[in-house]
């Protein structure tokens, strides 16, 4: 079919060159028999609103939003899903029946599906540490607290930023914050790395005592090779060490569902993109 006749979707960000979202959504479209196009849009911060309006005025049906625009998207839309409202960040935009822009946040749902469905982790009464208090953390706190962990601690270089998030989500569960050098030296069941540090090949200095033989270490960054955080966790023999590809895949599937009303088969997508991460069979 002529590209101009297809429903248009895209991901907007800066940088955007290495985004895997087009490949993922085109595979989902293939799986579900949906006919659509999916492109990458590079935008400058000052142009965000104009670029998004132009996209929707020119046949755009839905947008994924990535770094650094999730907050811009939150301010742009007319209506917010509950997760997006609490996270103050939007990663999925579409229009409702009356043409109003709706903003959703599927990042947290994506992470939770990966943790529970793919990695078969149970978070009830578990100790969780999140390293970093930026936009990525903001999007995952509520769904994590909904799993009722015994403790959710956010450690950040700038503790005041972790404090703001901890206060904001206080009513959802047992959440606390600290500076990186105040992390208690005991095992955590799940350690989530959510800083932007690995992007330059460096790692945040963390106490080795936080990793035990049953710890799961999860880097929200995705990469075809081990990130510095993953290398560190493997050296300490954490039980499970993964990057954020599963979260990327699952958040994309949820966005696809919001746009098209069909659920893609993410299990099959793992076989296609990352055979090393194929979900474990149910017990």
Tell me which residues touch ligand ATR (CB under 6 A): 67, 132-136, 156-158, 161, 194-197, 204
| DSSP code string of the chain | --GGGSEEEEEEESS-TT--HHHHHHHHHHHHT--EEEEEEE--GGGHHHHHHHHHHTTEEEEEE-TT-HHHHHHH-SEE-HHHHHHT--SEEEE-TTS-EEEE--HHHHHHHIIIIIS----TT-EEEEE--SHHHHHHHHHHHHT--SEEEEEESSHHHHHHHHHHTGGGS-EEEEEGGG--SS--SEEEE-SSGGGGT------GGG--TT-EEEESS--SS--HHHHHHHHTT-SEEE-THHHHHHHHHHHHHHHHS----HHHHHHHH-GGGPPPPP-
Active-site residue 70, yes or no? yes
Q: Please report how close the Cβ of residue 33 comes to ligand ATR at its closest, in angstroms.
A: 34
Q: Please report how close the Cβ of residue 216 comes to ligand ATR at its closest, in angstroms.
A: 20
Rounded distance between C-alpha atoms, residue 110 and residue 253, angstroms: 8
Inter-residue contact 215 to 242 (CB < 8 Å)? no
With respect to ligand ATR, which residue has the nearer C-beta, 27 or 230? 230
Q: Please report how close the Cβ of residue 118 comes to ligand ATR at its closest, in angstroms.
A: 22
With respect to ligand ATR, which residue has the nearer C-beta, 134 or 279? 134
Nearest one of 248, 87, 281, 262 to 169, comparing CA atoms: 87
Q: Please report how close the Cβ of residue 130 comes to ligand ATR at its closest, in angstroms.
A: 9
Of 61, 70, 126, 127, which residue is the catalytic one?
Answer: 70
With respect to ligand ATR, which residue has the nearer C-beta, 37 or 138? 138
Q: Please report how close the Cβ of residue 244 comes to ligand ATR at its closest, in angstroms.
A: 11
Residue whose beta carbon is closest to ligand ATR: 134
Catalytic residue set? 70
């Amino acid at each position: 079919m002529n590209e101009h006749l297809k429903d248009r979707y895209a991901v907007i960000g800066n940088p955007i060159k290495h985004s895997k979202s087009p490949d993922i959504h085109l595979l989902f479209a293939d799986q579900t028999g949906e006919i659509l196009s999916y492109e990458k849009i590079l935008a400058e911060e000052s142009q965000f609103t104009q670029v998004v309006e132009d996209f929707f005025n020119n046949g755009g049906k839905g947008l994924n939003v990535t770094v650094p625009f999730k907050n811009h998207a939150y301010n742009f839309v007319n209506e917010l899903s509950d997760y997006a409202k609490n996270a103050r960040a939007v990663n999925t935009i579409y229009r409702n029946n009356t043409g109003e822009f709706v903003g959703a946040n599927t990042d947290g749902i994506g992470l939770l599906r990966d943790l529970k469905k793919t990695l078969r982790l149970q978070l009830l009464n578990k100790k969780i540490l999140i390293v970093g208090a930026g936009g990525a953390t903001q999007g995952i706190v509520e769904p994590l607290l909904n799993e009722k962990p015994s403790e959710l601690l956010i450690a950040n270089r700038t503790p005041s930023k972790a404090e703001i998030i901890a206060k904001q989500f206080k009513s959802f569960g047992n959440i606390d914050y600290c500076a990186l050098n105040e992390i208690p030296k005991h095992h955590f069941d799940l350690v989530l790395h959510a800083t932007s540090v690995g992007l330059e090949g460096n790692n945040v200095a963390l106490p080795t005592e936080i990793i035990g033989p049953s710890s799961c270490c999860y880097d929200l960054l995705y990469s075809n090779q081990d990130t510095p955080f993953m290398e560190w966790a493997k050296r300490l023999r954490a039980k499970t060490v993964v990057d954020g590809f599963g979260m990327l895949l699952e958040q994309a599937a949820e966005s696809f569902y919001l746009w098209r009303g069909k659920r893609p088969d993410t299990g099959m997508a793992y076989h296609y993109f990352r055979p090393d991460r194929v979900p474990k069979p149910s017990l």
